[in-house]
Every structure is written in C-alpha cells, then in structure tokens.
Structure 1
Amino acid sequence: MSRDNPRAVKITDALAEYTSLDDQPLSVVKNLGLRHLLCILELRYEIPSHTHITDTVLPKLHDFVKKHIHNLLHDVKTLSFTTDIWSSSVSSVSLISLTAQSIDDYFKLQKAILHAKQFRGSHTGQAIADEFDVMLQTWAINKSAVHVVLRDNAKNMVKAMRDVELLILPCVAHTLQLAVKEGLLAQRNVADAVAVGRKIVGHFKHSALAYSQLEDIQVQLNQPVKRLQQDVPTRWNSTYYMFQSLIGNDNFIVTAPQWSLFEKILSVLAPFEELTQKMSSRDALASDVIPAVIVLMRLLTNETDEDHGIKTMKETLAAAVKRHLGDRETNPMYCIGTLLNLRYKDRFFSNTDTATEAKEMLMLWRMSTGEADKQEDLGDPPVRKLRKVQASSSLDSLMR
C-alpha cells in the first residue's frame, strides 16, 4: 500500500493523533506490540518512521488544529485565561502555558491549551509580561476580550499580570497551600507528629525487608496491603496522604497517642484537601470560592471536645485562611459570580453588609456593560428544570 493511499493516509493520521492524545513517545512506531497490532488490522500498511511522523504528519495535524481553534476564537467575544510557569523534572527547560476558557451559546465551558512553550532567560515580571503579550498576539486576541487571568501567587507572576494591565485572580488551590503551610507546623506536637510520620515512612522506604514484613503483617491481620506514602515538604496535601497511609497501619507501627493525634490532624486537614480537589477540577467556578471559604472558616472556628492537642493548629489555620483569602468578599469577580449562582445567591456572605455591597457590585457591572438599559420584551422565559446538585462530601453538604 503506497503512502498516499487514502486508507494509508487515514491510518497514519490516526497514528499521529494516538501519539498526541495519549502522550506517547514518537518512537512508539518502533514498538513491536504496536507494529503487530497494525499488521493484524491492515497487513498492507507500511508503518512510517518516527522522523516522518515528526517532520510531516505532526506539523500537518498541528496546523489543522491551530486553524480550527483560530476559527473558534474568532467567534468568541470574551475569554478567560490561566497561565503558569514550571520547570521540567527531567531537563533544564522551563515552560510557560496559556489556556483559554469560554462559554458557548449553550452555556457549556469550552477550553483550549494555546501554548506550552519553552521560556528562556530570567523569570522576571517584565519578561513574563512580554511573553504573555506575545502569546496573545500570536492568536490575535485583543486585551479588551480578556475577562480575567488566573495565576499563582509568585511575586514575579503577580507583577507580570499587573504590567499587562489585565484583571487577575489568584489560584485558590495555591493560596490554600500557602495557608496550610503556615498553620500545619504552628503547634509543637503537630510538628513532632509530622517528623515522626516521616521517620516511620522513611524507615520502610529504605528497607525492602521491613516493607516485606509489613505486608506480611497486613495479610495476617486481614487488612488490605497498603503502601506507605512519604510526604513532600512543599506539598501539604502529601503530608495529609502520609497520615492517611499510616492510619491504616496503626495497630503495629504507631503508638495509641500517636494514632489519636494523627486522626485529629487528618480531621482538620480533610476540608482543605477536599477544597483543594474541588478547586483543581476542570469545572471549578469562581462562584464556589466565597461559600467554600465561609464553610471552611466555620469548621475551623467551631470548638469541639476533640480539639485537645490541635487547638493552636486550628486557630493558626483560621488566621492564615483569613489573611490569604480575606479579600474574597471585596472582589467583584467572586461576589458577582456567587450572586448569579442559583445554588448560592446571597446565602454565603459573612453578613448582610457584604451581601448588600455584592449586589451593588452586580448593579454597577450591569450598568458598565449596558445590561441595565436593555428593556426589550423577551416574553415569558422558558420553564427550566433546575439541576439537582448531589452533595458528594462533607464540605459540599454544608454548602447546600
């Protein structure tokens, strides 16, 4: 079968899409298993080399997708963006990303990754701002069409977004990370518990014999074989997962007082983990922030009989959350989004004054966009059936 045979072209294009969509290395075309599969599906097909895929097929696919996204962006009046910079763990390369989000005519979220390109040189605020401008220009996106840019809390990123003069929001998951890092080790016994947990997990991680004996004990006690997880100091939720892994093995590797403290720490951190997962999902909304933080603060300030040993931790966490997310009810983006969310409306503001101020923000926004002046008669609105929101967790149940 010749390379330009219509069926051969279709298979080759599908092969390029397979490597792209499933993050496969280009050398996968050399793999025996894949070659055998393609031979069974189409004996006459000659598998192209990975250089042909790289030099010919992928550029054609890239141009096709880029043109398609250009056409989609042309019809969108307003766009929101997320951007971030990270370094590769396997090479000395830094990347900068740009992801665009919009709402289509059916009120469905649409998303496209526009850039994940190498970022060379010093990561100064000005350099990031210049690169951000270049990315927008590449896609012919006018700044007037930018609704908001979501970024992390790094000082250079904050300065960059101010320099490009766009409305910005901080990443809530990253903000929670900063708050928990401040509160987690504020109490001596909690810091000691973290150190003990790391020491226990480290022992088993560095001894294959100890791990084997641990698995044997788990089997003898009819417990699921559970791997211990070491935490990473820069990621608080990894400390949460470490305690979780230890709790399942509390009968034989931790003492009763340690087990009790581990459980209390987990109970305090559970809402943070839940909120981090919620805010990291692809359907996370800015309107979720105010209700979620209000509920989180209620949990942290609610004193119970179980607070013995972690009271300082709860108080420090509450103060850290207030310090890092205390301005949420003065931000029009959060306030207007919350009011317009049928699930929340004005039920989750701190008090009646902040709720009133949020409604004033909404009215100012309507006047600035000309919505308040529209008087056309649209007739009776169609009957809409509200979507039921299932409470999937403790935090969700408190936000209903």
Structure 2
Amino acid sequence: MDKRIFPPPTKVKSKIWENFGFYAKPDSQTLDMSHAICKNCKIKVKYSGNTTNLSLHMSRHHPDQPALVAAGRPSSSTYLSSQKQPTMPDAFISKLLPSSQRSQKITNALMRFICQDLRPYSVVENNGFRQLLHECEPRYTIPTRQFLTETAIPRLYDEVKRDVLLSLSSAQRVSVSCDAWTSRATQSYVTITCHYISPQWELVSHVLQTRVMFENHTGANIADLLNDVMHEWGIKDKDPVLVTDSASNMAVAAELAKLVHVRCFAHCLNLAAQRALKLPKVSRLLGRVRSITTFFRKSTIACHVLHEKQKVLGLPEHKLMTDVCTRWNSAHDMLERFVEQQPAICAALLSTEVRKNAKDLWTLTEADITCAEDVIKVLKPLKLATHVMSEEKTPTVSIIAPLHAQLSHGTQIEATDSAVTREIKIAVTGDLEKRYDREMPLLNMTSALDPRFKELPFLKEENRQEVYTKMAMEASQISLATTYYESTQELQVTYKHPDPASQTEAVKRSARSRARRKRSVLAEDEVGLWKCATIDLMSDEEDGIVGGVSGWIVRPPSFRS
C-alpha cells in the first residue's frame, strides 16, 4: 500500500512543489522534510531547504512536465538551453557607463523626445524603440521608466525652469494667457502661457504651468492661481496683460488680480457665429445636412456610389464633411462642401443601391439650397477673420480693432438681403457690439502703433484724433533715450514723403523742441511725425542686416510690429 504524500507547507511558493510532497514521520503527524517525494515516480529527493535538487530531478526524469521553475528562476539546463549564444561582435562590445559623455547626451536627447513629443514613459519598454536605439548605439543602456519618472525628467524640468526664469528676467512687459480644460479622464486643468519680446526683438512663448485644479472655477480661485504663478515666475512686476476667453469667471479673475484683460478675439468670433447657427432656420438646415453627410460617412456602398457620381458629373472628388459642435467653422465647411457636391449627392441618393438603405433620407429642396448659400455667404467674413487670427505667425492685439470694425460694417442690413441673411446679420452684430466695450480705447491705440493700421481708417475723424491725443499723453509719461526720428536715422530706414510740407514742418518742430528741452522727447511732435511718415514695409527676404541681425527683429516696436 502506497504511503500518503502530504502537500508541502504553505510558506513555499515555487511552482515546482506542484510535483513534490512529503511523507509523515512514523507515529507522528509532522512531516519528514529531509526528503521530498516526487508525485510522478515516488522517488525520494534530498531536500536541503532549496529547490535545486527538485529542479534537477524534474529536468532529468520528467522533462515533459510544465512545472520546471524553482525559486522563481528556471533550472540550469532549461536556462542554458533558452539562452542565445552572443555573436563575436556582441561579446566584445563594452557597455557605455551612465556617467560617460556619450551616454548622458543620448539620455538627454531621449528625455527631450519624450517631453517635446508628449510620449509616455512606457516608450522605453517598446520593442521597436529599443531595437532602434540598439541599432543607433549598441553600447547604450536604455534607462528604466522609474529612472525617467523619479530622476531624469524632474532634473530636466529644473534645468528648463532655470533657463526660462533667466529669459523672463530680461523681459520688460509680458502677456499671460490662461485657459481651463478637461482631460479625457475627467480631470480639470488650467494652463498658463507667457509671451514677451526678447532683447533681440523676437516673440518668445513659454508654457509656464499646466496645473490640476480641483476647486471650483470661480473668479476668486483663478485669481489666486494667477497670483501664485506670477510670483513663482517673477513676472508680477512686469505689468502683465491677461488674455483669456470671454467667460465671466476669467473677467472676474482679471479684475481681482488687477490685470489688464483682453478677451480672445477668435473666441468672440466663435460665440457670434454659434449664436447665428442656433437660429431656427439655420439649425434646421444644419440638421438635415448633417443627417445626409453622416449617412454617407457610415455607408461604404453610398460612399462608393457618390465617388462614381462625382466622376460622371466632373465634380471634385472631395469627401463630405460633418460639423463638430465645438468648432463653428466646421458647420460652414460642411455646408460649403454640401453645396459643392449637391448634384452628386442627389444622384447618389436617387440610385437604386443607395435607396434600399436610405429610405428616410431626402435631398434638400430648392429653398434649402438657397438658404445654405445665404448662410455660407454671410458667415464667410467670420471664417476669413478666424483664419487671419490663426495663420499669423506673430498675432498682435493691434489687429482686433480693424477686424472688429470690418465685421461690424460687413454685417449691416441691406435691402437685397434675404430673411435668413437678415437674421444672421442681426445675431452676429448684436453679439459683436457688446464685446470689447471697455478694451476698445486700448485696442485702438495698439492699432495706431501698428504701421499697417496707424492711419486708423476704420474710425471716424473725431475718434481718430482722440486716439492720437491719448497716445501722445501716454508717450509723454515714458522716458525715451532717443526719439523715433533719431531711431530711424540710426537704423538707416527709408520712408516715403506723401506730404513734403507737413513732413518738413514736423521735423523742424521736433528739432526745435528737442533743442529747447535739451533733447527730451516731446510726445506731440513724435506722434505728428509718426502720423505723416509712411513706412516702406519690406518683406523678410528684402530686409537688410542691421548690426549683424536681420532688420525686422531689431527695429523698435513703434516702427514695425
């Protein structure tokens, strides 16, 4: 009769014990742990507190058994058989020391790759990425995720922060933009960005912080956050200007933080357009078009038929577009593309193979097409203004007032306007008129300082003179080392003389004033000279070199924006 094999104590964790146990001592309930008993062949194996003998027994007598792991590692025979013998070049390659210059250079490049391209830390564990680095530098040892998370990336952050603080210390004025957003994980964040002009007259931008905000997004909480960030980065004393969206909490935050507040013009355009898109006639039209475009995007048969109809009718082979609720210009693009492809859409919907799956879809009526054309036409200026604000490499606040005035003028009611056009113009005008009431004097002054708009053609004569007078008052409070005229002479900038008499008189008056006041700047004379001088704006390719630097970045802001 076979003796009973008892399972090993629960403290042992190795999988090898699935094949071994112990006999009980004679006349005792305790286990005889001097020898382990193989459950497969009932052979006694010497047990000395480890599983080496057990693994050897399994590998020699029972190699077909799956449990060949002892103490968390494979048996010696299995381990040796699983190892690939290194090649001769690999055998003689010595690994780079982490402290070596080459290794540190690669590690720094790896950290910047992760940060600048927003890659996850787990990229260092991807087989393809590891193979790429091995091909580039076989001697390099790729750091672990823990090293990147706890050591490398924090160190890089400290280095970049020191560089940003040093760069910010040279800025005279800064602009701060603030925006709140929600991640896919439903966590609320606030991102704060800083913009300023460097001593080399280059526009510099830095994302200072992206911080989790668990508190309510009230104006007081946002103001406290802004004050903390400005104190941390040393920009509180640089008269920062806050640029945000048109949310009321942002306006309250700017007031509590005592900051000059400018609302994002692109966001204001979005609000005005969204108000127009919510009109009953426009909303109904968008709903019908959206249902048709969605059907074509989901049906492979309908998409194929549409493609064939485009070829037959000689239309551009463009795909239909569906709007996104958060981007108003996508609704304009959807209508524009739909009107372009209307003949092909109508022919595709009337085809037999499409009608079987689209019994509830109907093409638009003649009135709907006319309404769509009117919506496209009246919203076109808003889309162009959005592109102007988005495409400019160095957008400035000086462009807001001209665009605002142009849009207000373009949305005036005309006698030939249709009913839907009138409704859209009234909605857009009503929304734009209530924007920038308090900021408009500042915006007009910035436009007067921009060579493109310095004549302020979008303002009436009395308003234009009021802006120039206020600009002269502001200039009189600023102590300048040299006048505008002297600056242009020093840079050897050419300008045209549309009115030689007034030009000469302005120069003489400015010269007499400087001599009488020991060459101190007289604001009225400088504004007068600025108004009568027509600057010959050259392209970047035509700009000369002034002091070894491209001219467009060394000219003072009163000359070129």
Normalised TM-score (structure 1): 0.87
Aligned pairs, how many? Answer: 384
Q: Choose the corresponding residue for 1:15, options 78, 97, 110.
A: 110
Determine helix, strand or coil for the equivalent of 2:491: coil
Shift in alpha-carbon separation, 1:94–1:363, aligned structure 2, 3 A: same
Distance 2:465 2:410 in 1: 25
Deviation string for 1:56-100 (max 9, x for gaps)?
Answer: 221121111100011111122211111111111x11211111111
Which residue of structure 1 lines up, in the alignment, with residue 135 of structure 2?
A: 40
Which residue of structure 2 lines up, in the alignment, with residue 280 of structure 1?
A: 390
Distance 2:181 2:460 in 1: 39
Residue 384 (1) aligns with residue 493 (2): yes
Residue 242 (1) aligns with residue 334 (2): yes
How well do the aligned residues superpose, as a CA RMSD in angstroms?
A: 2.7
Q: Choose the corresponding residue for 2:372, options 262, 265, 268.
A: 262
Which residue of structure 1 lines up, in the alignment, with residue 60 of structure 2?
A: none
Which residue of structure 2 lines up, in the alignment, with residue 73 of structure 1?
A: 168
Distance 1:106 1:157 in 2: 32
Residue 2 (1) aligns with residue 97 (2): yes
Which residue of structure 2 lines up, in the alignment, with residue 60 of structure 1?
A: 155
Q: Is the contact made by 2:447 and 2:456 (CA closer than 8 Å) also made in structure 1? A: no
Q: Choose the corresponding residue for 1:108, options 182, 193, 202.
A: 202
Deviation string for 1:248-271 (max 9, x for gaps)?
Answer: 321133545434432332222122
Letter in 1 for 2:385: L
Shift of 1:226: 2.8
Q: Is the contact made by 1:219 and 1:225 (CA closer than 8 Å) also made in structure 2? A: yes
Residue 319 (1) aligns with residue 430 (2): yes
Determine helix, strand or coil for the equivalent of 1:158: helix
Distance 1:230 1:196 in 2: 11
Shift of 1:352: 0.8
Residue 231 (1) aligns with residue 340 (2): no
Distance 2:539 2:217 in 1: 42
Shift in alpha-carbon separation, 1:205–1:70, aligned structure 2, 3 A: same
Query: Structure 1 stretch 24-33 or stretch 353-362: which is displaced more?
Result: 24-33
Distance 2:267 2:213 in 1: 21
Which residue of structure 2 lines up, in the alignment, with residue 30 of structure 1?
A: 125
Q: Is the contact made by 2:413 and 2:425 (CA closer than 8 Å) also made in structure 1? A: no
Shift of 1:208: 4.2
Distance 1:19 1:219 in 2: 45
Which residue of structure 2 lines up, in the alignment, with residue 360 of structure 1?
A: 469
Q: Is the contact made by 2:313 and 2:344 (CA closer than 8 Å) also made in structure 1? A: no
Shift of 1:146: 2.3
Letter in 2 for 1:171: C
Structure 1 residues not aligned, in runs of 5+:
391-400
Shift of 1:132: 0.9
Which residue of structure 1 lines up, in the alignment, with residue 81 of structure 2?
A: none
Residue 122 (1) aligns with residue 219 (2): no
Distance 2:373 2:438 in 1: 32
Residue 154 (1) aligns with residue 244 (2): no
Query: Structure 1 stretch 34-43 or stretch 152-161: which is displaced more?
Result: 34-43
Distance 2:134 2:313 in 1: 50
Distance 1:53 1:375 in 2: 53
Deviation string for 1:124-170 (max 9, x for gaps)?
Answer: 1111111111111211222x312411111111111111111111111
Q: Choose the corresponding residue for 1:93, options 167, 171, 187.
A: 187
Shift in alpha-carbon separation, 1:211–1:375, aligned structure 2, 3 A: closer
Residue 251 (1) aligns with residue 334 (2): no
Determine helix, strand or coil for the equivalent of 1:310: helix
Distance 2:146 2:415 in 1: 65
Identity of aligned residues (%): 25
Residue 164 (1) aligns with residue 273 (2): no
Which residue of structure 2 lines up, in the alignment, with residue 139 of structure 1?
A: 233
Which residue of structure 2 lines up, in the alignment, with residue 394 of structure 1?
A: none
Which has more radius of gyration?
2
Determine helix, strand or coil for the equivalent of 2:434: helix
Distance 2:468 2:157 in 1: 45
Shift of 1:222: 5.1
Deviation string for 1:18-57 (max 9, x for gaps)?
Answer: 1111122222222333222222211222222222222222
Distance 1:107 1:59 in 2: 31
Distance 1:298 1:140 in 2: 43
Normalised TM-score (structure 2): 0.63
Distance 1:221 1:147 in 2: 58
Distance 1:259 1:325 in 2: 35
- The structure that is helix-richer by fraction is 1
Shift of 1:341: 0.6
Letter in 2 for 1:163: L
Q: Is the contact made by 1:79 and 1:100 (CA closer than 8 Å) also made in structure 2? A: yes
Distance 1:23 1:337 in 2: 36
Letter in 2 for 1:358: V
Determine helix, strand or coil for the equivalent of 1:301: coil
Distance 2:293 2:378 in 1: 21
Shift of 1:328: 5.3
Distance 1:200 1:87 in 2: 31
Shift in alpha-carbon separation, 1:377–1:193, aligned structure 2, 3 A: closer
Query: Structure 1 stretch 78-87 or stretch 274-283: which is displaced more?
Result: 274-283
